[in-house]
Amino acid sequence: MTDLADQLRPITAEEWPRFVRAMRTTFGHDHTGPYMDSPSPVAELDRSLALFDGERVAATSGIYSLEMSVPGAVVPTAGVTWVTVSPTHRRRGVLTEIMRRQLTEVHEAGREPVAALWAAEWPIYGRFGYAPVAWRGGWTGQTERLRLRPDVDCGTGTVRLVDVEEFRPAAAALHEQVRRSVPGNMARDERWWERRLQESPELAAGGPPRQLALHTEADGRVTGYATYRPRASWTESSEPEGTLTVEEVRASTPAGYAALWRYLLGHDLMRTIEYPHGPAEDPLAHLLVDGRAWHARPVDALWVRLVDVGAALSARRYPAPLDMVFEVRDRFCPWNDGRWHVWGHPAGAYSDRTDRDPDLVLDVEALAAAYLGGVSLAALQAAGRVTEISPGAVTQASTAFGWPVAPWCPDQF
């Protein structure tokens, strides 16, 4: 294969059916769904890349233009998606060229200092500078053991099941209010809410329907929402053993959050509660009489890459003052390689190149891991990923890069 970089190109709308079928084939998905013949509303074909082998699509990728919450701020983010390489074209450098092309184009455009993705496999993306920054909790428990503490304040509001026409505007407004305080949360416009609330064909054909609930105060204010699916099941002796799968629970007040969980835990016929994509630090564990009854199996979710180190470090806020030089090693994106002076505090930050001696030396993957505040630079130092030059620098930097709210991304893309 010659001139691979020149063979990669964006697809047209007419080529979408071949593109999406190639992607779903490589992922092992069936060829059914609402957007098999025409692109979805969130698709950005001008940011796609495909490798054609004759009429057949051999590799796919794309980028969504997103906005991600970071500690104390929001930042435009390139949401990397659709990445596949057909088995017929493996071990030829196709994925490396796709990653290089994407990151170079994002860097040259200058709009998005950060890229993010969900990794199908852990070993793939670290070599391109991505690192896991947020975890999903994988929560599960038996309803008979999940009881709220008697001193939990559930407020005076009410929880109601509503239709999608009432739910979506109320949930969208509340999500916009709360997502800015949670690093890793993505903004959702109307297109993304449409995608999130769309029923998949297999569920529409007989699976459990999604239930939509709002928590409303006495004055009419919506202070929380939940989406979930109850699935009925019975033992051979006719005992109920249903499973309630929670998709998302958000609230703007502690009482609203507690009230929504009181409602969810109170469903009859459900013996198991699952919250697979809930935050790894779910407040529910602190509301229960028996915290051990709410079991977590955390797994990596969102991965992040600093496309432009200076702009990315300038974009977030730091809860403790920071005035330090980082020597960053970045072999894949050479424009990041070098020393960066980072000055930051709770109200703002700035980072630029410098020739000062470094306080810390680390690779861009380790810096990305710490970017949202969920991974400690001290833990990375213990793993040999960070070298301390100035005594005490790791402690100071770990404190400044930390954040009181753990990163969480409920939106897969």
Question: What pLDDT, in 10s, does the model give residues 377-392?
Answer: 999 999 999 999 999 9
What CATH superfamily classification does 139-299 receive? Gcn5-related N-acetyltransferase (GNAT) (3.40.630.30)
Domain ranges of the chain: 4-112, 139-299, 310-401
Which residues fall within 8 angstroms of residue 364, CB to CB, at 6 or more apart? 129, 305, 306, 309, 328, 329, 330, 332, 333, 336
pLDDT given for residue 200 in this prediction: 61
pLDDT given for residue 1 in this prediction: 44
Q: Where are the beta strands (DSSP E) in 307-374?
A: 322-329, 338-345, 348-353, 360-363
DSSP 127: G
CATH number of 4-112: 3.40.630.30
Assign a CATH topology to domain 310-401: Nonspecific Lipid-transfer Protein; Chain A (3.30.1050)
Residue 285 · residue 294 · CB < 8 Å: yes
DSSP 268: T
Q: Where are the beta strands (DSSP E) in 175-316?
A: 211-216, 222-231, 242-251, 270-275, 299-300, 302-306
Nearest to 370 by CA among 412, 328, 410, 321: 328
pLDDT given for residue 108 in this prediction: 98
Domains 4-112 and 139-299 share a fold: yes
Question: What pLDDT, in 10s, does the model give residues 292-340?
Answer: 999 999 999 999 999 999 999 999 999 999 999 999 999 999 999 999 9
Q: What are phi and psi of 331, to 5 degrees?
A: -75, -30
pLDDT given for residue 115 in this prediction: 98
pLDDT given for residue 54 in this prediction: 92
Residue 348, strand partner residues: 345
Residue 67 · residue 186 · CB < 8 Å: yes
Residue 9 · residue 50 · CB < 8 Å: yes
pLDDT given for residue 185 in this prediction: 98
Low-confidence ranges of the chain (pLDDT < 70): 1-2, 200-207
pLDDT given for residue 199 in this prediction: 73
Which residues fall within 8 angstroms of residue 115, CB to CB, at 6 or more apart? 63, 77, 78, 79, 80, 102, 103, 106, 130, 304, 305, 307
Which tokens belong to 152? 């939990």
Q: Which residues are catalytic?
A: 125, 413
